[in-house]
Structure 1
Amino acid sequence: MQSKDIAKEFPFAKKLNSSARQASAERAWQAISSFYTRCKKKEKKKGYPKFKKNTRSVEYKVSGWKLSNDCMSIAFSDGFNIGTLSLYCNFETREDLFRLKINRVRVVKRADGYYAQFCFDTDRSEQGEYTGNVIGLDLGLKYLYKDQNDNAVVYPQYLRKSEKRLKKLQKRLGRKFNKDKKPQSNNYHRTRKRLSVLHLKIQRQRKDWAIKQARCVVHFSDVIVDEDLKVCNLVKNHHLAKSISDVSWYQFTTWLDYYGKIWNKAVVSVSPNYTSQDCSNCGHRVKKSLSTRTHSCSVCQTEICRDKNAAINILKKGMSILGMEWQNSEKRGLGVSPSKAIFQDSTFGQKESASTEEKHGEKTASAIEGKPNIVSGFL
């Protein structure tokens, strides 16, 4: 489907700028192409593209919009007569708008207003500082993660904290809904908007927390090993689904990969199979339920925290993928790096990006070059 076909089939699309119709057609073709790619890979969820009549975003290329000379406002020229809109953003963002070449502008509707996203090409790679530290992360619910040194980060549980307010607003919204009345009352829409804004706040809190924690982990480590968890399968457990969704494991690991590419750090995701069951000291498999929080090995008499044991196994798996060997030096009494690791590979200090492993559930990150960056401003 091309831009002209969209304008012929849907009358409202004629009012759009031609570049906006082209961008919509490109996104549609991209969705179809991704669907066929998933079919070839024989994935369970193919994700057939769905037609969305009322979208919450519109994208313009080089035409159909114009920034003011001081970058304080943006004007749109199409049949919808949007006109000129004021831009609210910080000083650094306004400087970027002055000096960088903007490729596309996207207007997005959120629960609390409209946002303009400016897309441009920039080199995000930075020179990371070599620390000599390695870290293995065992992701959890009470703690966001626990590493091989028994250091843990407690997750704030943003959804649980806002649950009372959510229930109150949902109950109020249910009372104001009248199935025989269309459209609904203004009070209904005001309550619906307040509920949407609260959900948006929780979403932003999760994202902000994930970004800060991922940045901190990557900044102070040269090799980061985490679990390649299948969250879509884990949430099928309805006793833990809410907590799993709240802790946002996938978002955290995504930002780990992102900052790993920027700073040229090795970020490795390994299969989580038997990381909690296998003994990190001798390798003996000790079966235990989820309620058992202490790992006790009957062979080597090791007794440590279950999560710490898993973090050590995860780190060993990741280091073996990179062609290195890691040994826990706590019992050896050796003075080594802050991560208490012994490196058996002399090329580690060169910080080479890791090669991709073809095993299932194991992947590594490489350097990023010329990746498009997005800057948002409030309209």
Structure 2
Amino acid sequence: MIILEFKAYGKTSQYSAIDEAIRTVKFIRNSCIRLWMDNKGINNFDMSKYSKVLAHQFPFANELNSTARQAASERAWSSVVRFFDNCKKKVPGKKGFPKFQKHCRSVEYKQSGWKLSPDKKSITFSDKKGIGRLKLKGTWDLWRFDKKQIKRVRIVKRADGYYVQFCVSIEVNEQLEPSKLTIGLDVGLKEFYTDSNGNSEPNPRFYRKGEKRLKFHQRRVSRKKKGSANRKKAIDRLGRHHLKISRQREEHVKRLARCVIRSNDLVAYEDLRVKNLVKNHCLAKSINDAGWYQFRKWLEHFGKKFGRVTVAVNPAYTSQNCSECGEVVKKSLSTRTHVCECGCELDRDHNAAINILKRALGTVGHTGTWVLDPVNASGDLASTVLGSDQVQQAESLNEESPRL
């Protein structure tokens, strides 16, 4: 599956119709959550049937395409499934009990309710919401794909306008010549990452650089009267600046991940729990600004695309252990140089990157993303799911997201 995104252009009345469709999706999703809370044993089929009942009861819900109503009920069911999965896996802390959605920014259609123009430069939504024809602007060519390959179409509202996303059922695999190189990566706050060869990539700190301007726009929002048009304009300006920073961070990690994957046959990195790391309020802003989770996500994506091996190892003691003799050399975060009695003297991050690579080399010959337990290196390997604190079986199948 690949996602193609285009900027959508239309009239003010069309944008209002999209907003109304998004509000309807939020209403159906929250109503399905209420149905699940009030009735024991509700499943996804019951929620799908209930979306049809809502269409008969409320005229504004009937105006939305039937597949869009079904997609809204699927969103509700996905939140329920995620809650049950976290309970079964005994995830520490809150399990993510389904809540009523306050802000919704997208409406999703399946394979009906929309029609592409012959030149694939515009799309027409045919439900009774009145969205109509929207012009599309982007760099991807939709004419390369058959309409049957487009499984979902989503309209997304962002701070700088509206976008149309196409979920295309196609496998993108590229075969590269073996580079005969392996590398270990240690991410940090001083440098974005340091590899096992001693090379480092500077941390751009996009949020820190744009923080002054963000504070300016935030003050503008605070000074405006609540509910006024000027306050809404100020909020839009603030949102656009936040969106710019997030896009800068995303493109930066995507570029680095693609370069690293294409240049090496095996890439090892730390299996960090960013969700737990940001609980440190002294470093939370810097950790979120670095974008470690996004970097790992793109490493795994490009690893699968280009047929490279990506290995996530346990980060425990990678900074404390000596990469030469293996002895533990305790050091604080302020100590940036690793000095061991065996004569090894390296940069702290360089030493950690070598340890990460050494731990990962035990998985040579296995493809996919793996987590290696250094305590029981001879045991079975297991893959880990992004955003989860639990380890799953390595042989588990890939499942399509219910929201795409």
CA 1:99 to 1:132, structure 2 compared with 1: closer, same or farther past 3 Å? farther
Which residue number corresponds to residue 117 of structure 1?
165
Q: Percent identity?
A: 50
User: In structure 2, what is the Cα distance between the partners aligned to 1:310 and 1:240?
Assistant: 20
Three-state SS of the structure 2 residue aligned to 1:246 is helix
Asked if 1:249 is matched to 2:263, the reply is no
CA 1:9 to 1:220, structure 2 compared with 1: closer, same or farther past 3 Å? farther
Mapping of residues 163-312 of structure 1, within 5 Å = 163-178=211-226, 184-298=227-341, 300-312=342-354
2:310–2:370: 8 Å Cα contact kept in structure 1? no
Asked if 1:143 is matched to 2:191, the reply is yes
Asked if 1:50 is matched to 2:99, the reply is yes
CA 1:103 to 1:139, structure 2 compared with 1: closer, same or farther past 3 Å? same
User: In structure 1, what is the Cα distance between the partners aligned to 2:84 and 2:97?
Assistant: 9
User: In structure 2, what is the Cα distance between the partners aligned to 1:356 and 1:56?
Assistant: 34
Richer in helix (by share)? 2
The alpha-carbon deviation at position 39 of structure 1 amounts to: 0.6
The alpha-carbon deviation at position 95 of structure 1 amounts to: 3.0
Over 6 Å off, 4+ runs: 364-367, 369-373
User: In structure 2, what is the Cα distance between the partners aligned to 1:356 and 1:157?
Assistant: 29
Equivalent AA in structure 1 for residue 316 of structure 2: N
The alpha-carbon deviation at position 358 of structure 1 amounts to: 7.2
User: In structure 2, what is the Cα distance between the partners aligned to 1:355 and 1:209?
Assistant: 22
Equivalent AA in structure 2 for residue 20 of structure 1: A
User: In structure 1, what is the Cα distance between the partners aligned to 2:95 and 2:173?
Assistant: 33
Q: Deviations over 1:212-241 (max 9, x none)?
A: 000000000000000011111111222211
Mapping of residues 57-72 of structure 1, within 5 Å = 57-72=106-121
User: In structure 2, what is the Cα distance between the partners aligned to 1:258 and 1:63?
Assistant: 29
Equivalent AA in structure 2 for residue 102 of structure 1: I
Structure 2 stretches lacking a partner, 5+ long: 1-46, 375-380, 386-393
Q: Deviations over 1:268-288 (max 9, x none)?
A: 001110000011111110111
The alpha-carbon deviation at position 50 of structure 1 amounts to: 1.9
CA 1:9 to 1:305, structure 2 compared with 1: closer, same or farther past 3 Å? farther
User: In structure 1, what is the Cα distance between the partners aligned to 2:371 and 2:294?
Assistant: 22
Asked if 1:132 is matched to 2:176, the reply is no
Asked if 1:315 is matched to 2:324, the reply is no
1:133–1:221: 8 Å Cα contact kept in structure 2? yes
Equivalent AA in structure 1 for residue 363 of structure 2: I
The alpha-carbon deviation at position 7 of structure 1 amounts to: 2.5
Equivalent AA in structure 2 for residue 12 of structure 1: F
Which residue number corresponds to residue 158 of structure 1?
206
User: In structure 2, what is the Cα distance between the partners aligned to 1:292 and 1:203?
Assistant: 31
The root-mean-square deviation of aligned C-alpha atoms, in Å, is 2.5
Structure 1 stretches lacking a partner, 5+ long: 179-183, 323-347, 374-379
2:312–2:369: 8 Å Cα contact kept in structure 1? no
Asked if 1:107 is matched to 2:148, the reply is no
Mapping of residues 54-93 of structure 1, within 5 Å = 55-90=104-139, 92-93=140-141
TM, length-normalised to structure 1: 0.83
CA 1:357 to 1:190, structure 2 compared with 1: closer, same or farther past 3 Å? closer
Three-state SS of the structure 2 residue aligned to 1:75 is strand
The alpha-carbon deviation at position 363 of structure 1 amounts to: 3.7
Of the structure 1 ranges 136-145 and 41-50, higher mean CA displacement relative to structure 2 is found in 41-50
Equivalent AA in structure 2 for residue 309 of structure 1: N
Q: Deviations over 1:101-145 (max 9, x none)?
A: 312111111111111111111011211220000000010012111
TM, length-normalised to structure 2: 0.78
CA 1:247 to 1:86, structure 2 compared with 1: closer, same or farther past 3 Å? same
